[in-house]
């Protein structure tokens, strides 16, 4: 297990890290094309598949992602909001993870599993290949293990792209 200071140092050095969220453990990295490429390669997923930008708080996300306002009431929470070409995530982070993300502003984030594999509920569930490639990891014990619900906000009406931690009907009700 790494400290917040070690995790922040790793992110600032361009390294990948594992962070707990409100749903599953995430494979995270600094905002860079290089980190996005390394994340995709490590997971074994297509390089053109989008990666969410994860923030520690709603205010910072709203500053960075115009168009998020219409769904801001869902945040923080187990949702990934698609605004244009960005996937935005503001989970209810465990304290150490929140402190690390807040220190760097935002991180690229996706579940810390191999492409198509089970979502990691515990740090021990993260595949060895991923853990070995990360410079830091924060352990928050067992998480719910259900990925975020993904909502596309690009059209006139919100559209559920992936039902996850919050069922589609409940998500749409919360948006109206």
* Model confidence pTM above 0.85: yes
SS3 content of the chain, % helix, strand, coil (to 5): 35, 20, 45
What's the angle, vertex CA 18, arms to CA 47 and CA 31, rounded to 5? 50
**In the CATH scheme, what architecture does the domain 4-175 have?**
Alpha-Beta Complex (3.90)
| Per-residue model confidence as pLDDT tens for the chain (176 residues) | 899 999 999 999 999 999 999 999 999 999 999 999 999 999 999 988 889 999 999 999 999 988 888 898 999 999 999 998 889 999 999 999 999 999 999 999 999 999 999 999 999 999 999 999 999 999 999 999 999 999 999 889 999 999 999 999 999 999 98
Residue that is written with structure tokens 């600032």 in the block: 12
Q: Residue length, the chain?
A: 176
Q: Reply yes or no: is the peptide bond before residue 97 cis, omega within 30 of 0.
A: no
d(CA 32, CA 34): 5
pLDDT at 70: 84
d(CA 149, CA 53): 15
């Amino acid at each position: 297990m790494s400290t917040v200071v070690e995790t922040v140092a790793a992110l600032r050095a361009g390294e990948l890290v594992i962070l707990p969220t409100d749903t599953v453990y995430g494979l995270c990295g600094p905002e860079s094309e290089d980190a996005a490429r390394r994340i995709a390669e490590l997971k074994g997923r297509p390089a053109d598949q989008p990666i969410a930008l994860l923030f520690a708080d709603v205010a910072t996300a709203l500053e960075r992602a115009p168009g998020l306002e219409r769904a801001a009431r869902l945040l923080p929470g187990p949702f990934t909001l698609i605004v244009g070409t960005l996937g935005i995530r503001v989970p209810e982070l465990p304290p150490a993870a929140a402190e690390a993300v807040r220190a760097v502003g935002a991180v690229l984030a996706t579940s810390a599993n191999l492409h198509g594999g089970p979502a990691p509920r515990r740090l021990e569930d993260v595949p060895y290949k991923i853990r070995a490639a990360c410079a830091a990891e924060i352990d928050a014990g067992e998480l719910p293990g259900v990925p975020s619900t993904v909502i596309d906000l690009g059209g006139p009406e919100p559209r559920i792209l992936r039902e996850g931690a919050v069922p589609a009907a409940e998500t749409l009700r919360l948006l109206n």
